[in-house]
């Protein structure tokens, strides 16, 4: 172990901001039919994945359809519970976090799906989808949520286009950016 504080290491980019060690996820198979009994069977979605994301860096998960990319993202965001393995944020283990600690973690780590047609509810407006996490995580005073949405949309040039729903998104706008 090196000497120095974790804060200094993070600032220098030496320590991972987000780390997964031997992350595994098995989903139980339910059902079956008269010829096959699926009880006791599992889909092995993720097997012993380890990765370290350093501040200021990007990791791309690339693979065939069904290879577990989304499952890894959901495990890292703690939307699913791993069968085994660990997730750490800034060196602190968060795999078993619950309640307030899990909400604090989710303020820092979110999944960003690329296609808004697959990830946004068409009944709601873009403003609704932006306001919801701001309200849930208390990132902005409730009285300032609308102004923050206008600021965020202006930052990605959507305000001028008056984009209200994901069906109005086109071309490059279909890539859903992470906005914090």
Q: Each residue of 133-164: pLDDT tens digit? A: 888 877 788 899 888 888 887 776 665 455 55
Residue 125 sits in the same domain as residue 51:
no
Boundary (domain end) residue, out of 109, 141, 156: 109
Residue 69 sits in the same domain as residue 148:
no
> Residue 45: which pLDDT band, with cuts at 50, 70 and 90?
very high
What number is the average pLDDT over the span 7-26? 75
Residue 13 sits in the same domain as residue 97:
yes
175 or 67, which is more confident: 67
Which range marks the domain in which residue 135 is found?
A: 117-174
Rounded CA-CA distance 82/100 in Å is 19
Residue 135 sits in the same domain as residue 95:
no
125 or 47, which is more confident: 47
Q: Are 117 and 166 in contact (CB under 8 A)?
A: yes
Rounded CA-CA distance 60/114 in Å is 13
Residue 33 sits in the same domain as residue 75:
yes
CATH number at residue 95: 3.40.50.300
H, E, C per residue of the chain:
CCCCCHHHHHHHCCCCCEEEEEEEEEEECCCECCCCECCCCEEEEEEEEEEEECCCCCCCCCCCCCCCHHHHHHHHCCCCCCCEEEEEECCEECCCCCHHHHHHHHHHCCCCCCCHHHHCCCCCCHHHHHHHHHHHCCCCCHHHHHHHHHHHHHHCCCCCCCCCCHHHCCHHHHCCCCCC
Residues 90-116 have pLDDT tens digits of 999 999 999 999 988 988 887 776 666
Residues 80-89 have pLDDT tens digits of 999 999 999 9
Q: Which two tokens stand for residue 22?
A: 């031997």
**Residue 1 counted as domain residue:** no
How many domains would you assign to the chain?
2
Residue 147 sits in the same domain as residue 68:
no
Boundary (domain end) residue, out of 109, 142, 165: 109
* Mean per-residue pLDDT over the chain, rounded: 76
**Residue 180 counted as domain residue:** no
């Amino acid at each position: 172990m090196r000497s120095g504080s974790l804060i200094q290491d993070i600032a220098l980019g030496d320590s991972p901001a987000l780390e997964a060690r031997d992350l595994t996820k098995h989903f139980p198979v339910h059902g079956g039919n008269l010829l096959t009994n699926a009880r006791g069977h599992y889909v092995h979605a993720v097997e012993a994945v380890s990765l370290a994301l350093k501040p200021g860096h990007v990791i791309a998960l690339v693979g065939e359809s069904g290879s577990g990319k989304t499952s890894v993202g959901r495990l890292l965001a703690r939307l699913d519970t791993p069968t085994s393995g660990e997730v750490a944020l800034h060196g602190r283990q968060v795999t078993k976090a619950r309640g307030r600690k899990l909400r604090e973690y989710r303020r820092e780590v979110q999944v960003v799906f690329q296609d808004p047609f697959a990830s946004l509810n068409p009944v709601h407006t873009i403003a609704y989808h932006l306001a919801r996490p701001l309200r849930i995580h208390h990132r902005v005073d409730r009285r300032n949520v609308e102004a923050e949405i206008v600021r965020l949309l202006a930052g990605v040039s959507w305000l001028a286009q008056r984009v209200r729903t994901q069906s109005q998104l086109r071309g490059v706008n279909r890539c859903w950016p992470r906005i914090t």
